Structures are given as C-alpha cells and as structure tokens.
Amino acid sequence: MESRGGFTSRLGFIAAAAGSAVGLGNIWRFPYEAGENGGAAFLFVYLVCMVLIGWPVMVGEIAIGRRANANPYGAYTSLGNRNWGLVGIWGILCGIMFLSAYNVVAGWAFGYFLGISFGDILSTENHGAFFGGYTADITDNFFYSLAFMTITGIIVLGGIQKGIEKAAKILMPILFVLLIGLIIYSLTLNNAMEGVKYYLIPDFSLITLETAYSALGQAFFSLSLGMGCLITYGSYIKKSENIIKAAGLVTITDTLVAFLAGLLIFPLVFSQGQSPTAGPGLVFVALPGIFADMGPVAGRIVGGSFFLLLCFAALTSTISLLEIPTTFLIEQKKWARKKVVALFAVLIFLISIPSMLSHGAVDFFSNFLYYEGRNKTFFDMVFDIFSDVGLPLGGFLMMVFILTRWKMYNLHEELAIGNETYPGSFMQKFMGILLTYICPILLLIMFIVTLKVKFF
Ligand code: PFF
C-alpha cells in the first residue's frame, strides 16, 4: 500500500475542505432555497444553523478522522467497533449515491458553460422549454457528465497533495475572482438594489418551521457534513493543526460564498423583473434569459463566466466525494490508488445513468413512483434518501457515537492537540454544550421531520 500522505499545510487543508463545501449547494441550491423561503429571513436562520450546528458537527467529523487516521469505516471501527463501522459504511454509500446524482447537475453546468460561451443557448426563445429539452437529451447529458467524472477522476488520481490540494489551491482563488467580478457587474444593473433589499432586509414574520428546516438541511448539504467527507479529509491533517479554528475558517468561507452567490443572483433576477421563487430552475432558466438580454457579447462573457464558476465550484466538491470511497478501498483492500479511482469513477458513472434518464428521457425513471399520488423521479429519490434524509441521519449517529461510545473527553482531548489553550476554556464549554445537547436533539428532529415530509 502507498503511504497515506496528507495535506502539506493548514492552507492546503482549508482550501480543499472549503473546496468540498463550496459547490452546487452554494451557487445553485442556496439562492433558490433563499428565494423560496423569504430571502433575508432565510439567510438569518441559515447563519444561526451554521454556527450552532454546522460548525460543531464539522469539528466532530474532523476530530474523529484525525484521531483514527482512517477512512469513515476504519475510523468508526477502530474508535468504536465493527457495528459502529456500519455508520461509516452508510456515509460511504451516501457519498457514492450522492455523487452519482450531483455529477448529473455538474454535467448540466458544464454543458451550459460551453453552450453559452461558444454555442447558441442564449439565442433560444424559451429558456424554460430549452432547459426541459436539454435535461431530457441523453446524448448531451451522457457526454458532459462523463467529461465531468473523467476530470474529477484525473485529479483524484493525483492523490491528496498533488491532486486534491493542488487543484483546490488553483480553483478556489479563480472562483473568488469570478464571483466578485460578476457581483460588481450585477450591482450596476437597473433595479439591482431591489434585489439587494429582498436579500438583506429580513421580514421576521416570514420565518416558519419550513424556513428553519430548509435552512438546516441546506447548512448540512453545503458544509459536506454527514457522509464522512470531513472524516476522510480530517484523517489527512497534521496533529499540529487547530481543528476548531480550521473548521471555523471552512464554515466562514462556505457561508461567505453562499452569501455572495445570493448577492450576485438576486440583483440579476430583480433587474429583469423576474421572480426569485423559481425553484431549482432559477440558475438554469431565469439566469440564461437575463444573460440573453445583455446582448450577444456581454451575455456570452457574463453568462459563460457564471457557468464556469458553477463548474469550478462543483469540481472541488465532486473531487471530495470521489475521495471518500477511494480512501476507504485503498485502506481496506490495500489496492493501488489508480485501480480504486478507475473502479469508482466507472461504477459511479454507471449508477448515475438512471439519474440522467430521470428528466424525461425514460418514463420509468422520470416517473419513479414512491406511492400513490406522489410522482418522483429516480434522481429526486437519490437526493431524498442519500442527502435530505441520509445526511441528518449520518450526523445524528455520529453524535450518538461521540456521546455514548467514543466519549466527549476523547473528543476534547483530540481538540486540545494543536490548541494548548483549549482545556478549561470557554470554547471547550461551548463546544460541549453544542455537541451534547443542541446538535443531537436538532439533528434527530430534522431526521424525523425530513423522513415524514419526504416519504409519508
Ligand atoms: N458541499 C457541497 C455543495 O455545497 O455543493 C456538496 C457536498 C460535497 C456534500 C461533498 C457532501 C460532500 F461530502
């Protein structure tokens, strides 16, 4: 077996972990969730969820990974026992299935980037109908998803330092430059300030149980929690790192990018008098219409840059998702990285085919019945089970593991390594309260509510 290796520096880890966190969740999902759930009111609840749940759960995952120095299955087995190892297996399975559906959306983003920059997407009459036709077209879907998975595989093949860390250090700064450039442009448009107001001035009467539950789900999705991604990355960081600080920086970066994505998209949407509540089609339907109105040259440049941004964000996330099962198999089977990456890239791509065919190409997958009266696609079902329900479940089981098996004092001991002032500090008490009471209770509630909403 090759040596485990690891991130070379704090910056390397932060770039990679923030790369994992910053993804389609920030730029595609966050704006439409915020748009549908009251704009600024959603943003407010989201920020609370990030601090009270996202950050401490991330601290827990990284600490487990670093202490065990192993993949999620190996970590739960060595710090717990073989039965606890099943929680790790569940996380790895969620990672595989999640990536299979996520890569389809990444493929759309890639196709839109090429089609807007160099093709004729902007000249279509009806962007809603175009998007419908686009996602139903198996040739485009197949080709662009395959391209995305291939690029992801090539980077993961390079390993932690030469592949993942290096890619994140290049892609993340470009992502920030593109994002800031696009925001400056969008703020200069007519009516942009209406969008800023909708996004930043909260109307607290809009906060409902639904807002809170959506915000918590979004926080988990966005921070890559609950499926062992940060156990995996955490297993590669140095003992000298301060985990609480590192997790804090990743949380702040991820929140900042989601916040900035909103600051880009709402002014764009309001500048054209469109509705912010367009749902999942917001980025693929509303925005291309807006780019088209900018004229052929500006539209190509601004629209192309936007979808390039989306691709880069997605890529640093697909990399981290592919690394979860990769680290697992390399360690458990002692196989070479090359063989493992090839195996999972092909396997996950094959699993993603039904998700690709879920948008009108094949009726069976497009109308994948759960039970009478509720039609869902196969693609929806993958996200429902392995993301919306799977992530809070994984997070809750991790809390139970820490509290009942590994024990809080071991967690505190791990957190004190690389952080001498931690023992006895206010931070220790604060983390103790969050991880012992707040997180497990809220995650259990969220798991039950999601299960009910999605399946009953
Ligand atoms: N955090 C990513 C996003 O916001 O798009 C999605 C994700 C990546 C979730 C990696 C989980 C994961 F392990």
For residue range 6-59, what is the model confidence (pLDDT) as tens digits? 999 999 999 999 999 999 999 999 998 888 888 899 999 999 999 999 999 999
For ligand 1, what atom is nearest to the CA of residue 225?
11
For ligand 1, what atom is nearest to the CA of residue 95?
13
Residue among 451, 284, 429, 332 nearest 70 (CA) = 332
Q: Which residues of 136-163 are buried (b: 16+ CB within 10 A; e: fewer)?
A: bbeebbbebbbebbebbbebbbbbbeeb
Residue 440 lies in a domain: yes
Model confidence band, residue 155 (pLDDT cutoffs 50, 70, 90): very high
Coil, helix or strand at residue 228: coil
Indicate if ligand 1 lies below 6 Å from the C-beta of 394: no
Residue 4 lies in a domain: no
For residue range 193-232, what is the model confidence (pLDDT) as tens digits? 999 998 999 888 888 887 888 899 899 999 999 999 999 9
For ligand 1, pick from 29, 317, 323, 398 the residue to mutate: most ligand atoms within 8 Å of CB.
317
For residue range 370-429, what is the model confidence (pLDDT) as tens digits? 666 677 899 999 999 999 999 999 999 999 999 999 999 999 999 999 999 999 999 999
Mean pLDDT on 56-84: 98
Q: What is the mean pLDDT of the chain?
A: 93
Among protein residues, the one whose CA lies closest to atom 7 of ligand 1 = 224
Indicate if ligand 1 lies below 6 Å from the C-beta of 224: yes
For ligand 1, what atom is nearest to the CA of residue 317?
8
Tokens 């910053």 appear where? 22
For ligand 1, what atom is nearest to the CA of residue 26?
4
Indicate if ligand 1 lies below 6 Å from the C-beta of 156: no
CA torsion angle 350 356 357 361 (round to 10)? -140
Residue 357 lies in a domain: yes
Residue 100 lies in a domain: yes
Residue 172 lies in a domain: yes
Among protein residues, the one whose CA lies closest to atom 9 of ligand 1 = 224
Residue 1 lies in a domain: no
- Our count of domains for the chain comes to 1
Residue 258 lies in a domain: yes
Domain that holds residue 315: 10-455
- Full-model pTM: 0.95
pLDDT of residue 1: 46
Mean pLDDT on 258-282: 87
User: Ligand 1 centre and the CA of 150: distance in Å?
Assistant: 18
Residue 127 lies in a domain: yes
Indicate if ligand 1 lies below 6 Å from the C-beta of 26: yes
Q: Looking at residue 56, which CATH number applies to its domain? A: 1.10.4160
